[in-house]
Amino acid sequence: MSDFFSTLLDEFPQVRAGLWVTVEATVLGSLLALLLSFLLGLMAGSRLLPVRGVSRVVVEFFRGTSLYIQLFWLYYAMPQLTGYELTPLVCGVVAFGLNYGAYGSEIVRGAINSVPRAQYEAAVALNMTPFHRMRKVIMPQAWVQMIPSFTNLLIQLLKATPLLWLISAADLMTAVEHVRSRTGETLVSYLLLLVAYFVLAYALTLLMNLLERTAKRRLGLHPGAGSLLKTRTAESAATAGGTR
Partner 1 sequence: MATDSASLKEPAGSAPAPGTTGVEPLVRFDKVVKRYGDHVVLDELDFTVKRGEHVTLIGPSGSGKTTILRLLMTLEKVSDGVIWVDGSPLSHTRKPDGSLKPAGEKQLRESRKKIGMVFQQFNLFPNMKVLQNITEAPVNVLGMEREEAETRARELLDMVGLAGKVDAHPSQLSGGQQQRVAIARALAMRPEILLLDEVTSALDPELVAGVLELLGDIARNTNITMLCVTHEMNFARDVSEKVLMFDAGRVVESGTPEKIFTDPEHERTREFLNAVL
Q: Is 221 in the site for partner 1 (CB under 8 A)?
A: yes
Burial of 48 (C-beta count, 10 Å sphere; 0-12/13-18/19+): exposed
Residue 225 interacting with partner 1 (CB under 8 A): yes
48 or 118: whose CB is closer to partner 1? 118
Q: Are the CB atoms for 203 and 210 separated by under 8 Å?
A: no
Nearer CB in complex with partner 1: 81/125: 125
Q: Looking at residues 8 to 37 of the shown chain, list those that interact with partner 1 (rule: CB under 8 A).
A: none
Could you give the CA distance from residue 235 to residue 51 in angstroms, rounded to a whole number? 41
| Residue among 132, 191, 202, 243 that touches partner 1 (CB under 8 A) | 132
Number of residues binding to partner 1, judged by CB under 8 A: 25
121 contacts partner 1 (rule: CB under 8 A) = yes
CB of 232 to partner 1, least distance (A): 9
Nearer to partner 1, 26 or 145 (CB): 145
Among 2, 118, 242, 244, binds partner 1 (CB under 8 A): 118
CA–CA gap between residue 95 and residue 29 (Å, rounded): 8
What CA–CA distance (Å, rounded) separates 223 from 240? 11
Which listed range, 50-58, 104-112, 116-124, 153-161, lies at the site for partner 1 (CB under 8 A)?
116-124
CA distance 205 to 95: 22
Of the two residues 126 and 206, which places its CB atom closer to partner 1 in the complex?
A: 126
Q: Residue from 45, 110, 140, 223 that binds partner 1 (CB under 8 A)?
A: 140
What does the DSSP assignment read for 179-207?
HHHHH--HHHHHHHHHHHHHHHHHHHHHH
Residue type, 241: G
Burial 205-236 (b: 16+ CB within 10 A, else e): eeebbeebbebbeeeebbeeeeeebeeebeeb
The stretch among 94-102, 127-135, 147-155, 176-184 that binds partner 1 (CB under 8 A) is 127-135
Under DSSP, the state recorded for 165 is G
Say whether residue 219 binds partner 1 (CB under 8 A). Answer: yes
Instruction: List interacting residues with partner 1 (CB under 8 A).
Output: 118-119, 121-130, 132, 136-137, 140-141, 218-221, 225-226, 228-229
